[in-house]
Amino acid sequence: MELPSAAMFQELFVLAILYAALHYLARAILPAKRAAGHASPPLPLPPGPRGYPVVGALPLLGRAPHRALATMAKLHGPIMHLTLGRQGVVVASTPAAARLFLKEHGASFLDRPTGDAAPTLLAYGAQDLVFAPYGPRWRRLRRECSIGLLGPQALVNWADTRREEVGHMVRAVLARRGEAVEVPEFLFCAMANMIGQAAVGRRVLDDAGGEATREFKEMVVELMTSAGLVNIGDFVPAVAWMDLQGLVRKMRRLWTRLDRVWARLLSEHEEVMAARQQEGARRLDLVDRLIACRREAGEEYGVTDLNIKALLNNVFTAGTDTSSSTIEWALAEMLLNPAIMRRAQAEMDALIGRDRLLRDSDTPNLPYLHAICKETFRKHPSTPLNLPRVSTEACNVQGYHIPKGTRLIVNIWGIGRDPAAWPDPTRFDPERFMTEQGKKVEPMGSHFELIPFGAGRRMCAGARMGVTLVHHMLGALVHAFDWEMPEGAAGVMDMEEEFGLALQKKVPVRAVARPRLAASAYE
């Protein structure tokens, strides 16, 4: 799905003119009255493109809004204002601009926009962790997710599960030795099962490349793509009912399919919950914790069934798609730059040897692996544009007036390509993170030149888990196998992107894996 064609915009202009004519008096007279009765804002809006009548800058975004906004920022500056339909939007495109909005003025941008199709449909009316309004319920949901799945202690508690699933993944790849395989299938299956065991207490997919895996992956990718596209109806309410792009119909169908999956998982979980409790002490999974919160009678901010299904939507979609996409981009870059892969393998061999698989506990001692991951986060951020926030109050930022109700977009992709922050930014070069200064830069929201998970109080709650999974799974695949392009590829790979909430690789990585460890290591 993409933005409308020129012909569709012509139809939109005609409808907009009719709409404007019907409300001419109200729209012509009221602004004059306001101007007569109120002073102008003390400071100007940030600079930005003028756009078109009614639709504003929507036609300028094209198929790749992250690239279009980065190009506009070169003309208008690091803090840019544009109008999308009736909605004012401010875009931050450099590390310094991101720091201003996410840290210094972060308290003014804690909420998400309301009424958009994606959070209304796919997030059960913003009942999840991603789109929910900032407040007591959101803090409750975040706390439970941190304790049960995403926080540092939860990552320690589930380390053995991750090790088992990485072993499953490596053996599944080994079984296809010598064949060209689609790497994302193996990554997605392993990710889904890791999250499944920690979230609902069991594996949810049986094998990489199976029908269930492909169907589930297609739904997740479709959700992440659809939810990230610019929906005309969100910005021009007068034509929202027409669903010009067909996005709302598509999301409704997708929501119905996913809701059946989450309802089935919850039903099966509750059926076996009592039996599992009789087996003795065991680790509580995330849904156990959420159900316990739901059953606390009379609590004002207790968890509802909708919250639980919405949270499952979050962890199984964003949790699988973003991390697996990052690993796929990293492998693609190393296939194009074999010397980087060989150096990473040499580092792992020196620390681990070739008699066992890489473990979670090894990764803190692999600085070059960390550098590869950081460079991938920089050049191919899983979320190219941060999820939009909205100002809950008017504020002044760097001499500009930001009205209440303005949407904030941080162009994370643009920040990673900022030549002032990153020399030769289009080059994939892990060496930039091997210097003393580069080693200090971490992707956890404190260094604004590298914020793949955002920053501030509403940065991605799964950032710590995402970094852990990328380190472990990418390291295991690079250590266990020599990766080669299929015969006939001749060192050429399609690196085109597919824009959405997650920045997908349009053509999946296909590669041949050849085992490089002792046979006993794969057992």
pLDDT at 298: 56
Separation CA 417–CA 78 (nearest Å) = 13
Is 273 within 8 Å of 200 (Cβ atoms)?
no
**To which H or E segment does residue 226 belong?**
helix 211-228
Does the structure show a pLDDT above 80 at 1?
no
Q: Hey, what amino acid is at 85? A: G
Position 1 in a domain: no
Share of the chain above pLDDT 90, in %: 60
- What is the rounded average pLDDT of the residues 420-431? 96
In the block, tokens 């009592």 appear at 274
Q: Tokens in use for 293? A: 């919160």
Does the structure show a pLDDT above 90 at 220?
no
pTM beyond 0.75, yes or no: yes
Does the structure show a pLDDT above 50 at 2?
no
Separation CA 495–CA 245 (nearest Å) = 26
Position 270 in a domain: yes
Position 350 in a domain: yes
Mean pLDDT score of the chain: 87
What's the chain's length in residues?
523
Position 114 in a domain: yes
Q: What is the CATH number of the domain that holds 469?
A: 1.10.630.10
Q: HSE-up of 102 (CA within 13 Å, CB side)?
A: 30
The CA-atom distances, in angstroms, between 458 and each of 104, 108, 124 are: 14, 12, 19
pLDDT in tens, 379-422: 999 999 999 999 999 999 999 999 999 999 999 999 999 999 99
293 annotated ligand binder: no
pLDDT at 35: 42
Question: What is the Cα 518 distance to its own chain's centre?
Answer: 37
Number of domains in the chain: 1
- What is the rounded average pLDDT of the residues 29-58? 71
DSSP-derived pairing of the beta strands 87-92 and 407-410: parallel
Q: Which residue has the higher pLDDT, 30 or 184?
A: 184
Position 380 in a domain: yes
pLDDT at 159: 93
> CA-based angle 49:67:438, to the nearest 5?
120
Does the structure show a pLDDT above 50 at 37?
no
Position 347 in a domain: yes
The pair phi, psi for residue 299, each rounded to 5°, is -80, 130
Separation CA 515–CA 407 (nearest Å) = 49
Write out 334-353 in H/E/C secondary structure: HHHCHHHHHHHHHHHHHHHC
pLDDT in tens, 268-309: 887 777 666 666 556 788 998 888 887 665 566 778 888 999
pLDDT at 330: 97
Q: Highest mean pLDDT: which of 39-48, 136-145, 161-170?
A: 161-170
pLDDT in tens, 299-352: 667 788 889 999 999 998 888 888 999 999 999 999 999 999 999 999 999 999
pLDDT at 281: 55
Position 279 in a domain: yes
Position 324 in a domain: yes
Separation CA 60–CA 81 (nearest Å) = 13
DSSP-derived pairing of the beta strands 87-92 and 180-182: unpaired
Question: b/e map of 260-274 (b: 16 or more CB within 10 Å)?
Answer: ebbeebbeebeeeee
Question: b/e map of 1-11 (b: 16 or more CB within 10 Å)?
Answer: eebbeeeebee
Separation CA 28–CA 430 (nearest Å) = 57
Residue 80 confidence class, pLDDT cut points 50, 70, 90: very high
Separation CA 114–CA 391 (nearest Å) = 12
The lowest-confidence range among 23-32, 317-326, 428-437 is 23-32
Separation CA 228–CA 231 (nearest Å) = 9
- What is the rounded average pLDDT of the residues 224-233? 82
- Where residue 56 falls (left for φ over 0; alpha for ψ -120 to 50; beta otherwise) is left
Assign 391 to helix, strand or coil.
Answer: coil
pLDDT at 121: 83
pLDDT at 3: 44
pLDDT at 31: 42
pLDDT at 279: 60
In the block, tokens 């309004």 appear at 133
**Residue 292 belongs to domain spanning:** 6-522
Separation CA 86–CA 164 (nearest Å) = 51
pLDDT at 296: 64
- What is the rounded average pLDDT of the residues 487-506? 84
